Structure 1
Amino acid sequence: MKKLNIKRLTNGFLILMIILLSYKVFWIHIGIFLKNNSKVFSNSFFVVFTILVICVISIFNGSFRIKKFLIGTSLLFLILILFFINSNLPNDSSNSLAQSVRIYGYLWVFLFLYIGNISVKDDAIAKIVLWSAGLSGTLGIIQATLKRPLVATQYQQVPFLNSIYYWNGHSASTPINQVGMRIRGFGLTDSGLTLGIVLLCAFCVGYYYLEKSKKKSIILSIFLLGIVCTITRNVYIATVLAILLMIFNKHYWYAKAMKTFYLLLTIIGFISIYADKLLDLLSSFFSSYGIVTFSSRYYYINIALEQVSDMKHFLFGANVVTHDGLPIDNGIVATIVDKGFIFYVVVQIIFLIIIFKGIDSNNKITRGLVIFCMTYPVVSFANSVDIVYGYFFILLFLSNKFENKNRRKSS
């Protein structure tokens, strides 16, 4: 009988927790299934729980490093200072501490992982990503095929899923009473968009991790079919981009081009949000090119930006968060109007460092995660997706770290 490997078990549990947090509403589903309305079954609680798990693993592994501890704690204090300034500025709206933990949970988890200097075997990352996405993706395919949610869609008589009902270009969180209404496959996530992102990550990882075989073709086909069943155009675009990047990644200029491409996408994404009013003025002249639809989609973004009334609120945020009356379908705007430009820059620098280190890697699992994370600026331009991508950037960080650890051992 094999001896139980506690370290492998705890690390696997940690990876699973990170992935389930990206689902946003997984724990609400569990609470409803157990007929328990406790606030324990929420992402906010399990972000804190995951951080406690990280602390316990760090203590027992004895993996603290002074340099990483000092850098990590300094960054943690900087974030806390920005949050403190943000909460003390006069704002028309405010969000609770629990809401901030839920929205930016990926950042807290990353910081404690960095401070704790935790290393996780990349093979475990790949297996858990593939298995969890496979199960949720299969459920999503069944939901879309049967046109039935199959799981609860309301929590305390209030819809808690996002736009899972679809009809003729219209989406809603409640059933649309029209012939031909469809269900976006969402699995156990909060929306078709989230499931599509999860499946795209699994597709990219599986493409590089799985050995070439009939089994690999079937698994990747299931992920692609699941993506189709989400009926989410933004994920379709991201999938095409990911496949193109896979095609070009064998060229010698790939690494340098990828870094430049990611940086340009990030800069263009930021600049473009302030060109929205110009697009509104020109939309009547270019309606044949679809700019009318483009402009109307960003109507609420203009409203959100108007609530950033001065330089203080631009730098430190106006505590404006997306809600039913103000859907903010842009990750850049959503972060700036909530926590401010400085906070946005800090988060983007963290993402940039993680993905740049990954681009230089020859590890097959890291390569798959890099391809996936390269789609973040594109998807973020038309949706607020930092919560989902943030947790998968953490997996890329862990994969990078494991490779670096192996490199040091072999040298």
Structure 2
Amino acid sequence: MKEKNIPVSNLYTSIVAVLMLLIASKVLTLRLSQVISHNAYFLNDWKIFSVLLIFLLLGGFLSKGIKHVSMREFLLVSFALLIFSTQWWVTINSSGIANKETVIQILLRYYGVYLICLIIFLKLNNINLRLLLNIVIIFIFINSLLGICQFIFRDPIVETMYNGEPIVNSIYYLSGISSSYTWLYDLGAQVRAFGLVDSGLTLGLLVVFALSISFSNFSYLKEGMKVGKVNRAKFIFNIVTIIVLVTSLYMTLTRNMYLTFANLLLYYFLFAAFKQQGVKVIKIVFLLEWIAGLFYVFLSNSLYEMLSRGFPNLNIETFNSRVQTYSRLADLNTSNTLLSNLFGRGIMPSENWVIDNDILSIVSHIGILPYIMMQIILIWIIFKGLNYMSSKGTTEPNSCYTRGLIIFLMTYPMAATLNYVSYIYFWVALITSFLLFNKDVKNEENSLIKH
């Protein structure tokens, strides 16, 4: 990009980053709405999504990238849009929900999928990835500091109720029981670190993502400091950032995030052990985890019984509640038609349906076919990123960011077994698509299993 266009690119990137962060921060948007308007939901997800869509379309128009779409990309996007459009039609005709309500519901919950498809077509080259990630990391860092204060002082600090109903999810934790209502807090529950987002889970996911970027930057900054390209202050700040992030991760009191972080460390170990030649091994490990996540749904009941017998004093009441929900969904699905299995029954997580599993949550809402399409898109991005890293090595300017983004995305199967997490993973996949589907990046025709 020409030097004179850099300020415009930075402004454009900053606006896109802020819009993406607003979608990820429910409490922050509520507070901003109260400042801007008397309506606390003035800045709703639909408005933010619409503005973000307009800006991406504007960026695509300026980039003129649609001419660079490969046949593979065209077919993938076409199939994705066809499957989701069919899902709309089935839901409208089977449930009687109005067209507008159905489309908006699906767009808002799975907006990441649509925007990734859009980016594949648009090939934006006016996104400053370094700036975008810096804005996101600073946001996560500030939320981590707030989360640490929430945990230490046992005080949510920010408003968590509106019109008598919680606007956050399960921020109170006591003896294995979680709740978003203050009755548990009054019984002495600890306040999870959640910052300005909707739960300790969301903050935990964002923190693991920020840690992945920070770990990837660590070696880059260390080598740069040796040759004088990076000053010591940046290196020290990166270490401080990691310490703050790890501390806040612990204070989210979310066991799934501890497992996800351990999984992240595993992938970094594999990269360090096998270097660039180990891409095939890493792909195999990822696919094994993905398959294990599928089998978990069917084996969860047996796993719970085994743990109960082997460790009778282990507090796994949360796990038990998940298994009971899985059973309710299984009983419900026995009466389903083929069409409803393929395109869902419109069931979304709620007080009656706390579906703490990504597969079951997505399939219950929009069905098996859209779920498979989502997985194909995610796996394609991950494998394309791995191939890109293998071909470019560490010489490419964005190599450290690529590694941090891809390694985080590879923790999806582990995190998805115990919670609904695609809302963050596809949010990160969208950021990754800015890099991998850039107009200036040559479209490689490597297969998913090459290397």
What TM-score results when the alignment is normalised by the length of structure 2? Answer: 0.82
Map Cα deviations across residues 56-104 of structure 1 (whole Å, 9 max, x no partner).
1112332222635844355323321222223323599x97443322211
Change in 2 beyond 3 A, CA 1:333/1:135: same
Partner residue, 1:345: 372
Cα distance between partner residues in 2 of 1:334 and 1:219:
33
Shift of 1:328: 0.3
- Determine which of 132, 136, 142 is the counterpart of 1:135: 142
Q: String of CA shifts for 1:257-315, please: whole Å, max 9, x gaps.
A: 22112222222212221234545666665454969744443211221233223332211
Distance 1:55 1:270, change over 3 A: same
Given the superposition, is the C-alpha separation of residues 19 and 114 from structure 1 closer, same or farther in structure 2, using an over 3 Å criterion?
Answer: farther
The SS at the match of 1:329 is coil
8 Å contact kept, 1:39–1:45? no
Contact 1:23 1:194 in 2 (8 A): no
- Output aligned runs, 1:195-344, within 5 Å: 195-210=203-218, 211-212=221-222, 213-250=235-272, 251-252=274-275, 253-279=277-303, 285-286=309-310, 288=312, 293=317, 294-308=319-333, 309-310=335-336, 311-344=338-371
Matches of 1:39 and 1:277 in 2, distance apart? 40
Aligned-residue Cα RMSD (Å) equals: 2.7
**AA partner of residue 366 (structure 1):** T
Question: Residues of 1 paired with 2:94 and 2:345: CA distance?
Answer: 8
Runs of 4+ in structure 1 deviating by more than 6 angstroms, as ranges, are none
The amino acid of 2:402's aligned partner reads T
The 5-angstrom pairing of residues 89-238 of structure 1 reads 89-90=94-95, 96-119=102-125, 120-175=127-182, 176-178=184-186, 180-210=188-218, 211-212=221-222, 213-238=235-260
> What is the CA–CA distance in structure 2 between the aligned matches of 1:326 and 1:313, rounded to whole Å?
18
Read off the aligned partner of 1:390 and give its amino acid letter: F
Equivalent residue for 2:83? 78
What is the CA–CA distance in structure 1 between the aligned matches of 2:8 and 2:374, rounded to whole Å? 33
In 2, distance between residues paired with 1:237 and 1:214?
27
Report the CA distance between 1:346 and its aligned residue.
0.1
Distance 1:356 1:333, change over 3 A: same
Cα separation, partners in 2 of 1:290 and 1:356, compared to 1, 3 Å? farther
Q: Identify the residue that residue 359 of structure 1 maps to in structure 2.
A: 386
CA contact (8 A) 1:144 1:185 kept: yes
CA positional deviation for 1:365? 0.6
Task: Give deviations 1:337-374, integer Å, cap 9, x for gaps.
Answer: 11000010000000000011112214111101111111
Task: Report how far residue 122 of structure 1 moved.
Answer: 2.7
Provide Cα deviations, 1:163-212, integer angstroms capped at 9, x if missing partner.
01112221111122555421111111100000011011111101212523
Q: Is the 8 A contact 2:16 2:52 kept in 1?
A: yes
Determine the C-alpha separation between the residues in 1 that align with 2:302 and 2:173.
31
Of 69-78 and 150-159, deviating more is 69-78
2:227 corresponds to which residue?
none
Matched, 1:391 2:393: no
1:198/1:282 CA distance change after superposition, 3 Å = closer
1:221-244 deviations in Å (ceiling 9; x for gaps): 011111111111111111112122
Tell me the alpha carbon deviations over residues 111-154 of structure 1, each in whole angstroms, 9 at most, x when there is no partner.
22222221333322331222111111111111111111111112
**Which letter does structure 1 place at the counterpart of 2:345?**
A
Amino acid in structure 2 at the alignment position of 1:204: S
Q: CA, structure 1 residues 191+249, in 2 after alignment: closer, same or farther (shift >3 Å)? A: same
**Aligned residue number for residue 49 of structure 1:** 51
Q: Which amino acid aligns with 2:207?
A: L
Tell me by how many angstroms 1:15 deviates: 3.0
Task: Look up the equivalent residue of 1:147 and give its one-letter code.
Answer: R
Contact persistence 1:365–1:399 (CA under 8 A):
no
Mapped partners of 1:377, 1:152: distance in 2: 33
Moved more, 361-370 or 173-182: 173-182
Count of aligned residue pairs for this structure pair:
405
Q: How many angstroms apart in 2 are the aligned matches of 1:8 and 1:111?
A: 23
Distance 1:51 1:3 in 2: 22
Match of 2:178, SS state, is: strand
> Using the alignment, how far apart are the partners of 1:130 and 1:164 within structure 2?
22
Query: For residues 289 and 398 of structure 1, what CA distance do their matches in structure 2 show?
Result: 48
Contact 1:305/1:333 (8 A) holds in 2: no
Question: Under a length normalisation based on structure 1, what TM-score does the superposition of the two structures give?
Answer: 0.89
Unaligned runs of 5+ in 1: none
Q: Residues 177 and 76 from structure 1, CA distance in 2 versus in 1: closer, same or farther, beyond 3 angstroms? A: closer
Structure 1 position 25, deviation (Å) = 4.7
Report the CA distance shift for 1:148/1:289 in structure 2 as closer, same or farther (over 3 A): closer
CA distance in 2, matches of 1:344, 1:47: 21
**Counterpart contact for 2:344–2:365, Cα < 8 Å:** yes
CA distance in 2, matches of 1:62, 1:377: 35
1:87 partnered with 2:92 = yes
- The answer to whether the Cα contact below 8 Å between 1:193 and 1:230 also exists between their aligned partners in 2 is yes
1:128 and 1:352 map into 2 onto residues whose CA distance is 26
- Answer whether contact 1:110 1:394 (CA < 8 A) is retained: yes
Identity %: 22
**Higher mean C-alpha deviation, range 369-378 or range 29-38:** 29-38
Letter in 2 for 1:203: L
- Going from structure 1 to structure 2, the CA distance change for 1:217 and 1:4 (only over 3 Å counts) comes to closer
Q: Partners of 1:190 and 1:390 in 2: how far apart?
A: 17
